[in-house]
Amino acid sequence: MYNLLDNISYDKLFSYCKGTFQEMIEAGITSVGEFHYVHHSDILNKNFDLDKAVINAAKATGIRLVLLVTLYTYAGLDRSVELSDKQKHFKSHVDEFLIYVKELKNKVVKEELVTIGIAAHSIRAVHEDDLDKLWQFCANENMPLHMHLEEQPQEIVDCQKFLNKDPSEVLLEKFDKFGKVNLTGVHFSFTKPDLLRKLTNNGTNLCICPTTEGYLGDGIPTLSTNDSIVLGTDCNNRICMIEEARLLAFGQNLKYNNRNNASLDANNLMDILTVNGARSLGLESKIGRFQENYDFDFVSIGVNNVVLSNFANSDELADAIIFSCDNREVVNVCVNGKILFAKKIYSD
C-alpha cells in the first residue's frame, strides 16, 4: 500500500478504486464499507481530496458505499514518534476531522447509495481522548464506528506498556463511560476470550477478514455461537465473499479440531454475508433482506453448472454454494433495482 502512495493523486486513486469496486460487483458484492484513511494528496494542504475520489469511483460503478472516514494521527502508542512522510497522507487533527465529517455527511445526504461512517484506525494511531470524541460524535449522529483491534500480539504488548490495559479494555471503558454505539472491531485475532465476550455483550460486531489474516499470518480469533460476525476483504488480495465465509468456518474448525464451531453453518454464514453486514454499516433498515420498504439489492447464483446442478432443488443448496462455489457462479448483481453485472449464460 505504501508504494502506491508515491505521487498519489485524485486520478490515480479514482482509477484504483473504480477497478476494485468493479471487481467487487462482479464477485457479488452490492455494498462496501470502505475503511479509508488515505485522505490528502498534498500533505501540506489537508483538503481530504482523496475521499472524493473514493466516493466518485463508487458512484461510477454503482456499488453502494459507506465511506468509513478514518482518523489516523499517530505512528504508535509512543506519541512522540513522528509519522513517516507517506503516513502524512493519512493525518488529521480530531477537531478538524469531525468538522469535515459533519460537512461531508450533510453533502451526501441526498445520495441514494453513499453514506458516511467513522473509523478510528487503531489504538496506536488514535489517542484515547480523540477516541472519546469519535465515540460521542457517532452516538449523537447515529453513525457506525469501526476500528482495527488486536490483529497482532505487539499491539497488546504496546498498549499494556503505555496504557496498562489491552486495546479491548479501552473500548469496554468507552461503553461504560459513554454508552453504546454501533461499533465494529476488525480482526480480534489475539483478543482474550473473556474480553471478546464482554464486547459482544455490548453489541460489538466482529469483522473477520480470513483471506487477509491468512495471507499475513495474523492468527485466528476465538469466536462463539452468539457473536455478531461480519466479513471483510481488507487488503483485497482476493475478492470473493463466498470464500471469506468458507474460510471463516474452516479456520474455526482447524482451531478447535472440531466442526461447526460458533454455529458457522451455511445458513448462518448467509446471514453473516447479508443481515450482519448491513447492521455493521448502519444499513440494517435498508438492505440485507428481501422485505417491503427495503432497497432492491440482490445477487443471483447460477445453478446450471457442474457445481450446483444436482442441488438446484435441494435443501443442501446453501451448503453447496458456501462450501463449493466462488465468483464463477455469480450471474447477476443488482443494487437499488439496477442490474450492474449480468453474466452471459451459454447453453446447448
The string of DSSP letters for 192-236 reads -HHHHHHHHHTT-EEEE-HHHHHHHT-------TT-EEEE--TT-
Residue 217 lies in a domain: yes
Q: 277 and 310 share a domain?
A: no
Segments forming the whole domain that contains residue 176: 144-295
Going by pLDDT thresholds of 50, 70 and 90, the confidence category of residue 71 is very high
Going by pLDDT thresholds of 50, 70 and 90, the confidence category of residue 346 is low
pLDDT at position 292 is: 95
Q: 259 and 155 share a domain?
A: yes
Q: What is the pTM of this model?
A: 0.96
User: Residue 31: pLDDT above 70?
Assistant: yes
User: Residue 265: pLDDT above 70?
Assistant: yes
The C-alpha cell at 87 is: 503516513
pLDDT at position 46 is: 86
Q: 51 and 183 share a domain?
A: no
| Contact present, 277 and 207 (Cβ < 8 Å) | no
Task: Give the relative orientation of helices 193-201 and 167-178 as an angle to the nearest 10 degrees.
Answer: 30
User: Residue 330: pLDDT above 80?
Assistant: yes
Q: How far apart are the first and last CA of the chain?
A: 45
Segment 237-264 mean pLDDT: 95
Total domains present in the chain = 3
Q: 192 and 271 share a domain?
A: yes
Residue 132 lies in a domain: no
| Contact present, 296 and 336 (Cβ < 8 Å) | yes
Rounded distance between C-alpha atoms, residue 132 and residue 346, angstroms: 56
Q: 7 and 99 share a domain?
A: yes
Q: 190 and 287 share a domain?
A: yes
How is residue 251 annotated by DSSP? Answer: H
Amino acid at 45: N
Q: 205 and 105 share a domain?
A: no
Q: 203 and 284 share a domain?
A: yes
Q: Report the CATH number at residue 204.
A: 3.20.20.140
Q: What helix, strand, coil percent values describe the chain, rounded to 5? A: 45, 15, 40
Q: 107 and 185 share a domain?
A: no
Residues 6+ apart with CB under 8 A from 153: 190
User: Residue 190: pLDDT above 80?
Assistant: yes
Which of 115, 130, 158 is the last residue in one of the domains? 115
How is residue 50 annotated by DSSP? Answer: H
Q: 102 and 32 share a domain?
A: yes
Segment 12-28 mean pLDDT: 98
- The DSSP element (H or E) to which 146 belongs, if any, is strand 145-149
Q: Strand 338-342 to strand 330-335: parallel, antiparallel, or no bridges (unpaired)?
A: antiparallel
Print burial letters for 64-85: b (CB count within 10 Å at least 16), e (below 16). bbbbbbbbbbbbbbeeeeebee
How far is CA 35 from each of CA 117, 147, 194, 258, rounded to the nearest angstrom?
Answer: 9, 9, 27, 33
pLDDT at position 9 is: 95
Residue 248 lies in a domain: yes
